[in-house]
Structure 1
Amino acid sequence: MNRRMAVPEQPLLRVRNVSKIYGRSCGECMEGTGPERESNICPKCGSIVAGGPISFDVYPGEILCIVGESGSGKSTLIKSLYFDDTFSSGEVYLQNYEEGKTNLLALSSQKKRRVRNCLMGMVYQNPQLGLRLDFTSGGNNAEKLLTADWHHVGKIRERAQELLARTEIPIERMDDCPKNFSGGMQQRVQISKALANNPSLLLLDEVTTGLDVSVQARVLDLIRQIQRTLGITMIVVCHDFSVIRMLTNRTLVMKNGRVVEAGLTDQILEDPQHEYSQILINSML
C-alpha cells in the first residue's frame, strides 16, 4: 500500500466540530475537561465529554485510523457517525449525498436511516451487534440488501453468495446461522453484510479485538484485500499499532475525548509529537 498517496481535492467525508456530551451539560464542560485536565468528566456538573470538538476529513480510497486508550472517545465517535448514537453538536457531510452540501446531522431520522442503509457499512467489535445470530448467513446479507432497496429474491440470494465467497465463507454454510460459527467466521459474515450495499464508507470498530492471533491475521488480510479490490474508504478504530501500521494511511490519536495528534500513520508511529502519542506508542510497541 502506498501510504503517501496523492490526496484528491474533494474529501468523501467532512466532519466539523462534532461533540458528544452525556449529561445535562453546564456550558463549561469543554473548558473543564480534556487531555490537559486528564479527565473527560466535567468538574462542575459531572457530565461526561465523550468527544469534541473534533474535525477531520477522509478522502476517497483512504483508510483512516482512530487510536486511543479505553475511554478516549474513539468508539463513540465512529458509532455516532453511523447514527447508532447522536452527536450533541457539529456537522457531517458525505460527498455522495446531495453533493456533500447537506449536514447529515440535521436530517430527519428517516433520511439518516437512508444514508446509513445505502451509503455506509459498519463492522462492530462484537458480532452480536452487527448480526442476527439466529438468521442464516445469507439471511443477514439479505436483511441489509432489503434496507438498500433490493427486492428480487433471486438476485438477493445471488448477491449474498457473492459476498460470502468474497469474505471466505463456504457457500455450503450460507444457510447456517452465525451462532454456530467461530468468532473469526462471525466477523467475516459481518464484513460481508457491511459490504452488501456497496457502501462508499466502511466503519470498523476494533474488529480484531478478542480474536486469536492467527484469526486476526486472516481478518486483516481480508480487509486489505477488500480495500485493494473495491477501493472502499474506511475508518478503523483500533488500539493495536501492528494493525494500524498494516492497514492505515493516516491516524488520529485521541485522549479524553479530544484529538491530540493527526498525521500520516508512518510519521506518527516513527516520530510522534504529542507526549501522549509518545507514551501510547512506546507502551504498545
Structure 2
Amino acid sequence: MQQSGKTVMNIHGLNKIYGAGCPHCFELTGPEHGSNICPECGTVVACHDISLDLKQGEILGIVGESGSGKSTLVRCLYFDEKISGGECYLAAYGDGKTNLFKETAQRKRYIRDHLMGMVYQNPLLGIKPHFTAGGNVAEKLLTADMYNFAAIRSRAKELLLRTEVPTSRIDSFPADFSGGMQQRVQIAKALANNPPLLFLDEITTGLDVSVQAKVLDLIKEIQRELKITMLVISHDLMVVRMLAGRTIVMKSGRIVESGLTDQILEDPQQPYTQLLVHSML
C-alpha cells in the first residue's frame, strides 16, 4: 500500500555518466534512441534526470533490465559511486535541507554509518569473509559509535535471531554459511544501526527459489515491524510485486514510468513496461 507519511528522502535531477561527456550526451541517448551510449563521444549515460521521493515506512521498487541504471542509482545514493550532478536530501540529516552529494567524504561516511543500510546482490560485498557473523554486525555497530562489548554482543545476537540466523552460529565465518544464510547475515548487519532508510539491490538473484521466498518474507516482516523505509532494486517484477507499494520503471538510464505497483502491473502505459509485464506472465 502507498504510504502517505512524510518524505524521508528526496532526489532531484540525479545524473551519472561514465566518460568525458559532450553537449550531445543527454539528447542522443535514452529509451527513444534504444541506447545509453552517446554516439558522438562514447560516454555511457547510466542515469539522467532521476527525480523521486521516498515516504516514511514505504517500500519503493525500481525495476528495469540489466543496464537500465537502477543499480547505479542506488550505488550513487549510498555513495559507492560519485554522481555527475543532482541533489539528494534526507529528512534525518540537516533538517532535510542539506544536499548530501555536496557533503565532504567524512560527512558522507557518517550518513552511511548512522542513517543508511545497504544489502548488496553479492553478500560478500556487504559482509567481510574474515569476520564472523557476529563480527560483521559488530563492525557496523562500531562505525555507528557503539563501543560497549557486552551491548554489541547482545545486539548482534538480537539481530541474527531477528533475521533467522541461529545465535549458535554467531562465531561462524561467512564461508561456513549458504548463500541464503550469508544474505541474512548481511541484512542483520544493514539493520544494526536502526537506519531510517534501507537499500536492497537485487538481493534474491542467485538464490534458489525456496530461499528467495524466505528472504522476501523476512524483508516484509522486518518492514512491517520496524517501519523502515526501503528502496528495492530488481529486474524481477515478481519481487517488486511482493514487496513494493509504488514502483518506478527505468530504461537506458531514464525513468519511463512510475506509479502504484498494482496499477503498473495491471495497466502498464509505456511499451517497455508492457514488455516487462508480458514477459512475467
Fold conserved between structures, TM > 0.5:
yes
Unaligned runs of 5+ in 1: none
Deviation of residue 27 (structure 1)? 2.1
Deviation at 1:236, TM superposition (A): 0.2
Q: Establish whether residue 259 from structure 1 lines up as the match of residue 252 from structure 2.
A: no
2:39 is the counterpart of 1:54: no
**Aligned length, in residue pairs:** 281
- Matched ranges for 1:7-18 at <5 A: 7-8=4-5, 10-18=6-14
Do structure 1's residue 269 and structure 2's residue 268 form an aligned pair? Answer: no
Aligned partner of residue 253 in structure 1, secondary structure: strand
How far has the Cα of 1:245 moved from its partner? 1.0
TM-score (ref. length: structure 1): 0.98
1:182 aligns with 2:157: no
Q: State the superposition RMSD in angstroms.
A: 0.7
Aligned residue number for residue 202 of structure 2 = 206
User: What is aligned with 1:87?
Assistant: 83
Secondary structure (helix, strand or coil) at the match of 2:48 reads: strand
The Cα shift of 1:134 comes to: 1.8
Q: 1:160 — aligned with what?
A: 156
Aligned partner of 1:39 in structure 2 is 35
Residue type of the alignment partner of 1:63: I
Q: How does 1:205-244 map to 2 (within 5 A)?
A: 205-244=201-240
What's the TM-score, normalizing by structure 2?
Answer: 0.99
Among 20, 23, 27, the alignment partner of 1:27 is: 23
Alpha-carbon distance, 1:179 to partner:
1.1
Between the aligned partners of 1:89 and 1:284, the Cα distance in structure 2 is 34
Whole-angstrom distance in 2 between the partners of 1:163 and 1:178: 16
Question: Which 4+ runs in 1 deviate beyond 2 A?
Answer: none
Q: Give a deviation string over 1:95-129, Cα, whole Å, max 9, x none.
A: 01011000000000000000000000000000110
| Counterpart Cα distance in 2 of 1:90 and 1:242 | 31
Amino acid at match of 2:72: T
**Alpha-carbon distance between aligned partners in 1 of 2:277 and 2:31, rounded to the nearest angstrom:** 16
Question: Which string of whole-angstrom CA distances, capped at 9 and with x for unpartnered residues, describes residues 193-232 of structure 1?
Answer: 0000000000000000110011001100100000000000
Instruction: Establish whether residue 116 from structure 1 lines up as the match of residue 103 from structure 2.
Output: no
The 2-side partners of 1:256 and 1:249 are apart by: 24
User: Which residue of 146, 149, 153 maps to 1:150?
Assistant: 146
1:36-77 Cα deviation digits (max 9, x unpaired): 000000011100000011100100000000000000000000
Residue 242 of structure 1: CA displacement?
1.5
Q: Secondary structure at the match of 1:261?
A: strand
* C-alpha distance in 1 between matches for 2:148 and 2:24: 54
Match of 2:74 among 57, 78, 85: 78
Alignment partner, residue 67 of structure 1: 63
Instruction: Say if 2:128 is the partner of 1:132.
Output: yes
Do 2:2 and 2:58's aligned partners in 1 also have CA atoms closer than 8 Å?
no
**SS of residue matched to 1:251:** strand
CA distance in 1, matches of 2:68, 2:237: 16
The amino acid of 2:275's aligned partner reads I
Partner of 2:245: 249
Work out the CA distance in 1 between the residues paired with 2:131 and 2:175.
Answer: 9
Given residue 107 of structure 2, which amino acid in structure 1 is its aligned partner?
K
Letter in 1 for 2:17: I
Shift of 1:4: 4.2
